[in-house]
Structures are given as structure tokens and as C-alpha cells.
Amino acid sequence: MEAEIRSLPRIGEKAPSFEAITTKGKIKFPEDYKGKWVVLFSHPADFTPVCTTEFYAFQKRYEEFKKLNVELIGLSIDQVFAHIKWIEWIKEKLNLEIEFPIIADDQGKVASLYGMIHPEKGTNTVRAVFIIDPEGIIRAILYYPQELGRNIDEILRMVKALQIADKHNVAIPANWPNNEIIGSKVIIPPAKDVEEAMKRLEKIKKKELEGFDWWFAYKEIK
């Protein structure tokens, strides 16, 4: 199999569309996931220890993802029977059933569309994560080396933060919701002209708005 290595799709672009065979049957993306957030992630190979810990962690948080209207889709360049045997092993040995689909990308077509092929590792896919919104737009991309397993709680946090940013037109501070300066509060976009900046400063002085300056105001989201 000679998969074409392509550059990464970019944040803000439409996620590339594809059809694929998975452990849950054939899927057509993004049509089958219209109105849903999607976390599409690749792993180097089935029956590998780091990947097994990642799939276990994703499944343990699957209900949390679904509460956020998120569906998970895994992928590697393995045939579907290898995926099936692997998830059977996880169920038997680790007492956990993997409920989300895993793409059998044995021809590397989806991986090449998303730039998931590791350039130094032959046909292996890297540990890539694409967070895709209900409009099919790529909102975030994460890449991890093969030797480092992903932090699934961080992926959950990113989805929550993106949804809040969209809903309330705000920005999210570092380490939210445990930011060292403003805690769980979120950042109001900076003023766009002098008049608005002066009005915002006045509101901050009168304690009508929380903030340090016109460009750094914040609020609690309830």
C-alpha cells in the first residue's frame, strides 16, 4: 500500500469528506454526522500498548463526550478484522467494550486526506486528533509522537471550551476552568475602537465590568 502523504488540513477549513469501512459498518463523513461535533483520531496500530490505553481512556469518557453532542471516530491503517479482534481483546482482558467506530483505513486514503501518515514511519499513522464542529469545520488539531499517549481530558476540555466560545462569543484563558488569574471566568473580546475602549475602562472603574484594562476584561459564564 502506497498512501499519498499530504499536508495537514488547516484549522477553519472544511474537513475532507470520505467514505470508509468501520467496526460499526460503512460511514459517510461528514453527512452521517450532520449536527454533531466529531473527534476524529488516528493511532499507529492495533494491539499496541499505548494505543490500548488511549482507546480505554476514550471509551471511559464516551458518555461525557456524548453529553456534549460529540461522536468519536478512531482510525488506523489496519484491516477491519484486526480492529474487531483488538476490541474483543480489550473487552475480554480489560472488561470494557469499545462502542465508537474505528475506521479500517488499510488503503491509507483517509489518513492521506488528513495528513496522518508519519513521514518517517512508513505507513503508520501518527497520533492525530481533529476536533470538527457540526458545520464540518476543523476547529482544532493535535499531534502527538508515537511514544506519548494523549491526554483525553484535555480533548474534552477543548470541546467544552470551543462550545462556550461559540455560544457566548468569548475567548478561553489558559488552563481553563482553573486559570491562575481569573479562574473559571472567560475573556471578553477586546474593544475595537477608541470610543468602545474608553467606555469599557469607565465600566471597569465603576465595577460594572470585571477587568484589568480595556483589552483584558472578563466575566463569569453561568
Which candidate, 54, 42, 127, 39, places its Cα nearest to that of 90?
A: 54
The residues annotated with a catalytic role in the active site are 51
Question: How far apart are alpha carbons 6 and 114 in whole angstroms?
Answer: 7
DSSP state of 174: T
**Which amino acid, residue 46?**
D
Q: Is the distance from CB of 129 to CB of 64 less than 8 angstroms? A: no
72 Cβ partners below 8 Å, 6+ apart?
38, 39, 41, 58, 62, 65, 100
Residue 12 gets the label, from left (phi > 0), alpha (psi -120 to 50) or beta, of: left
**Which grid coordinates are listed for 208?**
460594572
Question: How far apart are alpha carbons 25 and 38 in whole angstroms?
Answer: 17
**Which grid coordinates are listed for 108?**
491509507
Q: To the nearest 10°, the Cα dihedral for 65, 69, 74, 79?
A: 130
Question: How far apart are alpha carbons 163 and 188 in whole angstroms?
Answer: 15
